[in-house]
Amino acid sequence: MAPFTTPGDGVAGRPGYVLIILAMAVLVISLGLLVAVPVLQTEAQREKEEELIFRGRQYAEAVASSSRRIPANIRPA
């Protein structure tokens, strides 16, 4: 059987230590986010750019395709 503990035993019983540990945990999480957020933003921007390039190529292909189908004598000048 485990021995009984008093309120002053362990980390939870020492005033201020829990607060310091929580502050350190918040600091570590904040530093992780500080590094991760710019990477995620760059990745999202690249995905948007790839999508726009794809759409631009689709438009160019559609215009080229439609201009090939219209006879030369009907095309506007």
Return the closest-CA partner of residue 25 out of 10, 7, 8, 11.
11
Answer whether residue 61 shows pLDDT above 80: yes
pLDDT 10s digits, 8-51: 555 555 678 888 999 999 999 999 999 999 999 999 999 999 99
Answer whether residue 7 shows pLDDT above 60: no
User: 1 or 29: which carries more pLDDT confidence?
Assistant: 29
Answer whether residue 1 shows pLDDT above 90: no
Q: Give the chain as a DSSP string.
A: -PPP--TTSHHHHSTTHHHHHHHHHHHHHHHHHHHHHHHHHHHHHHHHHHHHHHHHHHHHHHHHHHHHHS-TTTS--
Confidence of residue 74 (pLDDT cuts 50, 70, 90): low
